[in-house]
Amino acid sequence: MDDVRLPDEVVLDKLARRLSAATGDPWAARGSMIKGPGTLGIFLGEDHTGSAKHLDLNFVFNLDRPVETSISDCTTGFGSTVEEAVDRAIEMWLGTTGAALLELLRRDGSFAAHFPADDPDGFPGWHTIHGGISGWGAGEGHDVVQHWLIDNPLLPRLAPALHDALDRGSLIGVKVFFGGRAGRETAEVRVNGGVHEGASLALAGLDWPRKQDGLSYARTFMLLVHPQEPATAANA
């Protein structure tokens, strides 16, 4: 694959078109950003990996208050061409991170699932939106890690390791990516774009399947919306 990065305006236009199709709302690439409805915007981060298949996306809920309303995440695609890989990277982001962020705008369950503060499968004390669970790999059983993640909620298992990451009162993004094969596993948890070492170690210690041959990976994204008393969970 010719590893030449697509121009930023091409990537932004691709993502804007996908967002418009998914939401029915107008999203358009304008200069260095995508402008969405109201105060929404998305910026493409700098190329810090050297890989044309890798994208850093900064989603801003309120362009007037970017510091406290931004959610940053990265995504990588694969394919025989750079364009195919970027399309898959966008698809991966939309199905996981994007789904959770768009659900915060809709709040009707059409994009992602809601977990109130007292839900046993949620994050204790926080109203959480859980994006989709994507999986990929190679060989027989390439989806075993994805199916494990569907059957084993991560939020309550990672919550103890993430207590020091709750450093702002709302909008904390938690991305999880893990899998591989036995002896060559990857387990990474990112909080608002940065790797969280403690949660990554906790994830690595869980009993998800390690394939002896082939590959199996899974990715998901959870948005901790705001702290919430269990008694008020039904009103979120």
What is the arithmetic mean of pLDDT over 147-161? Answer: 97
pTM for the model: 0.92
Provide the pLDDT for residue 200.
98
Copy the structure tokens of residue 49: 């990996």
Percent of the chain predicted with pLDDT > 70: 96
Q: What are phi and psi of 58, to 5 degrees?
A: -115, 105
Amino acid in position 222: M
What is the arithmetic mean of pLDDT over 112-120? Answer: 96
pLDDT over threshold 70, residue 235: no
Provide the pLDDT for residue 1.
44
Provide the pLDDT for residue 120.
96
Among 85, 86, 114, residue whose Cα is nearest residue 99 = 114
Q: What are phi and psi of 39, to 5 degrees?
A: -100, 10
Mean pLDDT of the chain: 93
User: How would you classify residue 198: left for phi > 0, otherwise alpha for psi between -120 and 50, otherwise beta?
Assistant: alpha
Please, which residues bridge with residue 74 across strands? 56
N-term to C-term CA, the chain: 47
Separation of CA 222 from chain center: 7
pLDDT over threshold 90, residue 228: no
What is the arithmetic mean of pLDDT over 110-131? Answer: 97
pLDDT over threshold 90, residue 50: no
CA distance 10 to 88: 14
Provide the pLDDT for residue 2.
54
Q: Where are the domains of the chain?
A: 8-106, 114-228
CA distance 88 to 171: 26
pLDDT over threshold 90, residue 234: no
pLDDT over threshold 80, residue 217: yes
Residues whose CB is less than 8 angstroms from the CB of residue 146 and which lie 6 or more positions away in sequence, other chains included:
133, 134, 135, 136, 216, 217, 218
What is the arithmetic mean of pLDDT over 133-162? Answer: 94
Provide the pLDDT for residue 63.
97
Among 99, 219, 86, 213, residue whose Cα is nearest residue 149 = 219
Which of the four pLDDT bands, split at 50, 70 and 90, describes residue 233?
A: very low
Provide the pLDDT for residue 84.
96
